[in-house]
Structure 1
Amino acid sequence: MFKPLIQFVLQHLMQQNSWTAPLLEPYAHKNVCIDFKVSQTTLTILNNGELAVAGESAQADATIHMPPSLAMRLLRQDPLAHSLIKIDGDAALGMAVGKILSAVRWDIEDDLSKVVGDIAAYQVVQISQEKLQRWQSQAKNLGEMLVEYWQEEQPIIAKKTRVEQFNQSVDQLREDTDRLQQRVDKLLAATLPAESQ
């Protein structure tokens, strides 16, 4: 059902980002499965270096595992998100496709200008970017306020220092227990020979 839409979007993005084709040409006729946990899509690399949706029976040469939460972190350009992507199979192929997919950008202004004209498209994109930045800033502020509230007013979340103190207390208790066990073992060892006489 979604395959024609995915195919259209991929072809459109590859045309807008023509620099990707030469990087994928060495992997022509290879298949890559992108696993989002909730759904999977297998892509094939064509002779010209473009990506297309593979057939139902296509076997993946590499699988890129990305949980849905990771996709959101990638969209926010979180630098740590890339380290959480897992690749099975041909690692070089998976890394090449993953880097290209993360670097591909949709030129919204170009597509919009074909519908409403250049000036209107430019203004719509500028306003949208300003709104998005404002929403991101507000969401970040709200998140920080909630964390502070849950740490100070309604302690649902533990502060980092309290967690570290708890971990140190547990480590100290474990060491004390080990020392006590050694003393008990020594006392038992000392009393057993005395009883046998």
Structure 2
Amino acid sequence: MTTQSPFSFLEGILQKLPLPQLQLPTWAVHEAQRRVVLLLNHVLMQEPEAMARLTRQKNQVMLVQWRSFNFKLVATPAGLLDLATPEAVADLVMTMTDESPLALAQTALRGDKPAVRIEGDVQLAAEVNWLVEHVRWDIEEDLARVMGDVPAHTLSQMAKTLASTLREFLAKAATFVPGQSAK
């Protein structure tokens, strides 16, 4: 018997609500994208191999899409990323196929990657896949620069415990069968 997540009911209700289409001002979208690029470059600069791989893909344009949101990035000669011009033609298109924000959040909390449809340059796709698999942001190290080693480690451990607890909760919720007692 297949089980259904108790969250599916909530998700169904949210999808049926006639919510107004959120349209952010262009300047706000651009600024948010700039901040994401700064964060991505900060993480990339911690990994020389990642920068070397992006250098080989210089001037290649990647388009990331989810629902009505999209984000064009270009690999720079320095091995970093920058926003691509709106008229730039994408060499690689990555579209997140799951439309549900709740399902994406659950996937992220489980530590899984979202389902993505990839079209375009195979070599660029392989490099992006390598980046996703191997580059990680060491948040604890960045926090330690600001607040010291002990508080950063404590905060990091608390975050890891919270994430682990959420993962366990989601795993139990996914196997929940109404009418059965919890163990």
Q: TM-score, normalised by structure 1?
A: 0.65
Report the counterpart of residue 137 of structure 1 in structure 2: 168
| Deviation (angstroms), 1:91 | 2.3
Which moves more between the two structures, 96-105 or 32-41? 96-105
- How far, CA to CA, are the matches of 1:91 and 1:24 in structure 2? 14
Report the counterpart of residue 76 of structure 2 in structure 1: 46
| Deviation (angstroms), 1:25 | 1.8
Are 2:169 and 1:118 equivalent residues in the alignment? no
Report the counterpart of residue 104 of structure 1 in structure 2: 135
Unaligned ranges ≥5, structure 1: 154-197
Distance 1:65 1:95, change over 3 A: farther
- How far, CA to CA, are the matches of 1:142 and 1:71 in structure 2? 16
Specify the code of the residue in structure 2 equivalent to 1:140: A
Q: Hey, which bits of structure 1, 4+ residues long, moved more than 6 A? A: none
Q: Which has the higher contact order (CA 8 A, sep 6+)?
A: 2
- How far, CA to CA, are the matches of 1:67 and 1:10 in structure 2? 22
| Deviation (angstroms), 1:117 | 0.8
Distance 1:60 1:66, change over 3 A: same
Higher Rg: 1
- How far, CA to CA, are the matches of 2:104 and 2:128 in structure 1? 15
Distance 1:64 1:49, change over 3 A: same
Report the counterpart of residue 85 of structure 2 in structure 1: 55
2:123 to 64, 70, 92: 92
Superposition RMSD in Å: 2.5
Report the counterpart of residue 11 of structure 2 in structure 1: none
Which moves more between the two structures, 87-96 or 56-65? 87-96
- How far, CA to CA, are the matches of 1:28 and 1:46 in structure 2? 5
- How far, CA to CA, are the matches of 1:115 and 1:75 in structure 2? 26
Report the counterpart of residue 65 of structure 2 in structure 1: 35
- How far, CA to CA, are the matches of 2:128 and 2:162 in structure 1? 31
Q: Tell whether the 8 Å contact from 2:93 to 2:120 is kept in structure 1 after alignment.
A: yes
Distance 1:22 1:55, change over 3 A: same
Per-residue CA distance 1:142-183 (angstroms, 9 max, x = gap)? 3322xx117x79xxxxxxxxxxxxxxxxxxxxxxxxxxxxxx
| Deviation (angstroms), 1:103 | 3.3
Are 2:110 and 1:76 equivalent residues in the alignment? yes
Distance 1:76 1:18, change over 3 A: farther
Which moves more between the two structures, 97-106 or 118-127? 97-106
- How far, CA to CA, are the matches of 2:104 and 2:46 in structure 1? 21
Q: Higher helix fraction: Structure 1 or Structure 2?
A: 1
Count how many residue pairs are aligned between Structure 1 and Structure 2: 147
| Deviation (angstroms), 1:31 | 0.6
| Deviation (angstroms), 1:104 | 2.3
